[in-house]
Amino acid sequence: MKQTLGAALLLAFAAASPTASHAADVEAGRAKAATVCAACHGVNGVSVRDTIPNLAAQRAAYLEAQLKALKDGSRKNPMMNAIAAQLSAADIANVAAYYAAQPGAAPDAKSAPLANLVKTRVAFPEGYKETFTRYHTINFPATRQVRYYYANPVALQAAKAGKPLPDGSVLFAEVYAAKLDAAKKPMTGADGFFVAEKLLFYTAMAREAGWGSDIPEMLRNGDWNYAVFTTDGKLRPGVNQAECLACHKPLGDASYTFTLKELAEAK
């Protein structure tokens, strides 16, 4: 039976590198996994939710090959690319060996997210429509959503001055389901953006001195914390900040935000 191109490449990766178990330090792999990888994949390789793969009992060579591909960018996954880029060759071998040594996950088993990455210090910005500036809009076709972005005066003034966003900055977004046409496609207004129909939730990122002190350095975004709020302004429990932190991690030169340019140009 012919191998697929993906399978052939994976075998090539595995063959090109030594099996992780030969020179790997399993205890060092456990330490790295416990502080960083466990945020999504669990301390013992049992993931925190269904959309994240379990790593327990996977072959060490397979895990090592995948981490190398994520590190060099040949496998695309924005969150994991950002994390793998910070791993040394020894880290990769150690983590691969550690997870390979764990027993496989039981059916439907899930790990709890790390407590320090579920905790957030971000509060809902009451009265934001009167005090914040709406500075940007983005369509999200994959989820049929449109988001409106707001910033408080502290963030706005710093961005306009060409300075990094300082402590006290708050960026906030309203997330709406787009109005759909008869073909179930998002309707677009005269401004080119989807027509908002129903508020789904809010997202926020904010920073104060020391807020990043208990976040692992490989995930830490300075002192930024992230949060999701329900439509009545209540904190959505159990949100795993690790996913936000990993996604924003490469943006250190832009104050860890995707919309700094738009914020600087806001009127």
Task: Find the mean pLDDT for residues 217-227.
Answer: 98
CB under 8 Å to 133, separation ≥6 — which residues?
150, 151, 153, 156, 266
Taking the model in full, what pTM does it have? 0.86
Q: How far apart are CA 62 and CA 161, in angstroms?
A: 48
Ranges of each domain in the chain? 5-112, 118-264
Neighbours of 248 (CB within 10 A): 23
CATH code, 118-264: 3.50.70.20
Amino acid sitting at position 27? E
CA separation, residue 206 to residues 133, 167, 210, 213, 232 (Å): 15, 8, 12, 14, 19
pLDDT at 8 over 90: no
Beta bridge partners of 171: 151, 205
The predicted pLDDT at position 267 comes to: 87
pLDDT at 15 over 50: no
The predicted pLDDT at position 155 comes to: 98
* Average pLDDT of every residue of the chain: 92
pLDDT at 2 over 50: no
Tokens read off for 70: 């994520």
pLDDT band of 122, cuts 50, 70, 90: very high
Amino acid sitting at position 53? P
Task: Find the mean pLDDT for residues 234-263.
Answer: 96
CA separation, residue 162 to residues 152, 157, 166, 253, 260 (Å): 16, 9, 12, 12, 10
The predicted pLDDT at position 7 comes to: 39
pLDDT band of 20, cuts 50, 70, 90: very low
- 60-72 and 89-100 helices, crossing angle to 10°: 140
The predicted pLDDT at position 99 comes to: 97
Task: Find the mean pLDDT for residues 6-28.
Answer: 54
Least Cα distance to 172 among 140, 206, 138 occurs for 206
pLDDT at 1 over 70: no
Task: Find the mean pLDDT for residues 209-231.
Answer: 97
Burial class (CB in 10 A: 0-12, 13-18, 19+), 119: exposed
pLDDT band of 11, cuts 50, 70, 90: very low
Tokens read off for 172: 């906030």
Candidates 1.10.760.10, 3.40.50.620, 2.40.128.50, 1.10.3720.10; correct CATH number of 5-112? 1.10.760.10
- What are the pLDDT digits (tens) for 57-82? 999 999 999 999 999 999 999 999 99
The predicted pLDDT at position 23 comes to: 79
- What are the pLDDT digits (tens) for 133-192? 999 999 999 999 999 999 999 999 999 999 999 999 999 999 999 999 999 999 999 999
Q: How far apart are CA 217 and CA 195, in angstroms?
A: 40
